[in-house]
Amino acid sequence: MTKASSPSGSIEAPASSLSDASNDEVRAAVRAQYGQVARVGAAGCAPACCGPGPVLSSKLGYSAEELAAVPDGANLGLGCGNPQALAALREGETVLDLGAGAGMDCFLAARQVGPRGRVIGVDMTPDMVSKARANARALQAPNVDFRLGEIEHLPVADGAVDVILSNCVINLSPDKRAVFAEAFRALRPGGRLAISDVVALGELPSHLASDIAALTGCVSGAASVDTLRALLRVAGFEQIRVDVRPESREFIREWMPGSGVENYVASASIEAVKPASAEARAATTAPAPLAEAKAEGTCCAPTCCPPKGAA
């Protein structure tokens, strides 16, 4: 799973410390790391990417049937859960995957929405988009479309999708507030979020909090549960639910062995709904959580992993 990039233009080498890095440098570091994963075709490269590797994806909640249904090379083991299992997808729906990587969750979603449905995967890493498109051709999945773009600036029309998925990607964004605002824009009224991501359980030690490798490894960019709830409320979402999975420490410790990261972050299931009417949007904000959201939503942590209208 990766994020967005500018398709052209050169970017200087990113700073080695988060304290010295701009948002663009953070994105450049993430793009470089996951581009390498796409080219090499292997994952589980802690501390530079999230996820235990393809062989252990069953620990994330995928069934043997699901793992057998995706083409070779789609399962890079870069996630921290199984978001399409949360989504209760229905036939004919349009689904958007933020940070689609090589396409695994997109292909599983396509099986659920059927030929009348549509799945759009957005990723900021050109190598990942190329890999995902090749996988779609191999699978003969004409209703799956992969697009190059940043999750903070989605290449999707307003109100175009019914469901948004994401798997261990939003933690990598240096502007989480923009991510949720864009998700709200892209969803139809009544549309829903189904996200697997890491959340912060406590303050990271300074050597991890300032480490670019910890950011790209899905550790230092994690926001707290309270911050995520505040950001979702500010964006306009309702029925917000964030469920932490304590058992996830068993695979998170493999991301940066010996560092103790499993004591500071955990996988969580994140769900929310866009109000069914524009009038219902009234986003309520609690001052204290919003202040925290602004602080955490603008900086990143370590590294890791249409039928219904125009989209």
DSSP code per residue over 13-75? PPPSBGGG--HHHHHHHHHHHHHHHHHHT----TTSS-SS-GGGGGGGT--HHHHHHSPTTT-
Q: What is the pLDDT of residue 285?
A: 38
Rg (CA), the chain: 17
Q: Is residue 26 part of a domain?
A: yes
Confirm whether 259 is domain-assigned.
yes
Q: CA angle, 146 as apex, 221 and 103 as ends, to 5°? A: 65
Kindly report the CATH number assigned to the domain that includes residue 166: 3.40.50.150
Per-residue pLDDT of the chain (311 residues; tens, 9 = 90+): 443 333 333 323 334 445 556 888 888 888 877 778 778 765 443 444 454 444 456 566 676 777 777 777 776 768 888 898 899 999 999 999 999 998 999 999 999 999 999 999 999 999 999 999 999 999 999 999 999 999 999 999 999 999 999 999 999 999 999 999 999 999 999 999 999 999 999 998 888 888 887 877 888 889 999 999 999 999 999 999 999 999 998 888 888 888 889 999 999 999 999 999 755 454 443 434 444 444 444 443 343 444 445 56
**Is residue 11 a part of any domain in this protein?**
no
Look at residue 172 and tell me if it is in a domain: yes
pTM for the whole structure: 0.80
Domain housing 129 = 18-297
Is 308 part of any domain?
no
Q: Distance between CA atoms of 171 and 222, rounded to whole angstroms?
A: 5
Note whether 156 and 4 are within 8 A (CB): no
The total number of structural domains in the chain stands at 1
Residue 35 within any structural domain of the chain: yes
* The pLDDT of residue 21: 62
Q: Is the dihedral of CA 228, 57, 220, 122 positive or negative?
A: negative
Would residue 272 count as lying in a domain? yes
Nearest of 164, 120, 125, 85 to residue 303 by alpha carbon:
125
Let me know if residue 136 belongs to a domain: yes
Return d(Cα 57, Cα 67) in angstroms, integer: 8
